[in-house]
Structure 1
Amino acid sequence: MTRDEFNSFCAGLPASTNVVQWGNASVWKVGGKIFAICSSWGSEGEQRVNFKCSDMAYSMLIQEEGIVPAPYLARAKWVRVEDPDALSKEDCCAYIKAAHAIITAKLTRKQRQDLGLAQTS
């Protein structure tokens, strides 16, 4: 998944916002909380996608070649896709959509209401 594809997909998620920070990383948030990051690494500016995931998804994904615990965020169950071939674009999008849902569920009822997001139980 390219950075442009990443940004385009994240922009389509409800109430998502984007900031560029941390040395040109594209940081996507919902309700002010981060759910996905695309950053450049190395001298060639290779793109790395990072996202929050469920406990089960985290356990499965870090077993895959080319996917590692995200530096500084692994304790919160974040992964980094280091090899662009490690996940198909469709799978990457599905995980990012799930990350958005995980973070949305952690928002208060009022925050979700203010953002126009569906109530979760």
Structure 2
Amino acid sequence: MSESPDADLHDDVVRHRFEMAVEGDTAFIEYRPMPGGLVFRHTLVPKALEGRGVGGRLIRAALLEMRARPEGPPGLSLRPRLRRAPPGVRRSGRRGLNAMRPEAFEAFCLGLPAATLSIQWGGTHVFKVGEKVFAMAGPREDPAEAGYVFKTSEISFEILTQSGVAVRAPYLPRGGWLRLADPGALPDDELRAYLTQSHQMVGRGLSKAVRRRLGLPA
């Protein structure tokens, strides 16, 4: 994957979005101002710029810009806002002690189409679709390995890691894999939405024959 040449970041304060122009195309991320930070609402990377790291560079540049401003608080909170939760998921905003427990994590993952579970690597719960991993839950008895792992888009990866919500998953250096060490770092409904997204992203990488056999959309 080749990266695009350096481009300047522009903050369009009227339309509330950060823009980055590259080779005649413009990628942008819309935001909503809020006390203590911003909520990123929607991101667009033109098709001509996909797969070139533009989305990640846009997020990193926006974070640096906000933190460099005098009015930007040291603990500026920047996190993605999923446009909608998957069907049947109610937005609750619950965190901390009410966050998704491992049993609920497992039940939700196995409720996704054609999902299977295997126990590997010293007790890690590995969830797959078509023999490809889409999520993992570390051994509950080992605090150092406990936590949830899933795949995200390039934009979500940059926001969640840069804001300290998650870290790059160990042993998975490529492909947008995150480790959420604290289940309370995200409301449980948002975690469900990310798991659904991970399942869909991995599922789209399966061959047409496998997708047909599993009953997944073509």
TM-score relative to the length of structure 1? 0.90
Q: Which runs of 5+ in 1 are unaligned?
A: none
Question: Is residue 60 from structure 1 mapped to residue 172 from structure 2 by the alignment?
Answer: no
Question: Is residue 84 from structure 1 mapped to residue 180 from structure 2 by the alignment?
Answer: no
Identity %: 38
Deviations 1:89-118 (A, max 9, x none): 111110000000000100011110010111
Q: Identify the range of structure 1 (57-66 vs 109-118) with the bigger mean alpha-carbon deviation.
A: 57-66
Deviation at 1:43, TM superposition (A): 4.9
Kindly name which structure, 1 or 2, has the bigger radius of gyration based on alpha carbons.
Answer: 2
Deviations 1:41-63 (A, max 9, x none): 67558730000111111111112
Moved segments of 4+, more than 6 Å: none
Structure possessing the higher relative contact order (Cα contacts under 8 Å, 6 or more residues apart): 1
Superposed CA RMSD: 1.7
Residue of structure 2 in register with 1:16 after alignment: 115
Residue of structure 2 in register with 1:27 after alignment: 126
Deviation at 1:66, TM superposition (A): 3.8
Residue of structure 2 in register with 1:106 after alignment: 205
Q: Identify the range of structure 1 (56-65 vs 99-108) with the bigger mean alpha-carbon deviation.
A: 56-65
TM-score relative to the length of structure 2? 0.51
Are residues 43 and 55 of structure 1, via their aligned partners in 2, closer, same or farther at CA, if it must alter by over 3 Å? closer
Are residues 45 and 16 of structure 1, via their aligned partners in 2, closer, same or farther at CA, if it must alter by over 3 Å? same
Deviation at 1:81, TM superposition (A): 0.4
User: Take 2:166 and 2:101, find their aligned partners in 1: how far apart are those partners?
Assistant: 16
Aligned residues: 119
| Contact 2:125-2:139 at 8 Å conserved across structures | no
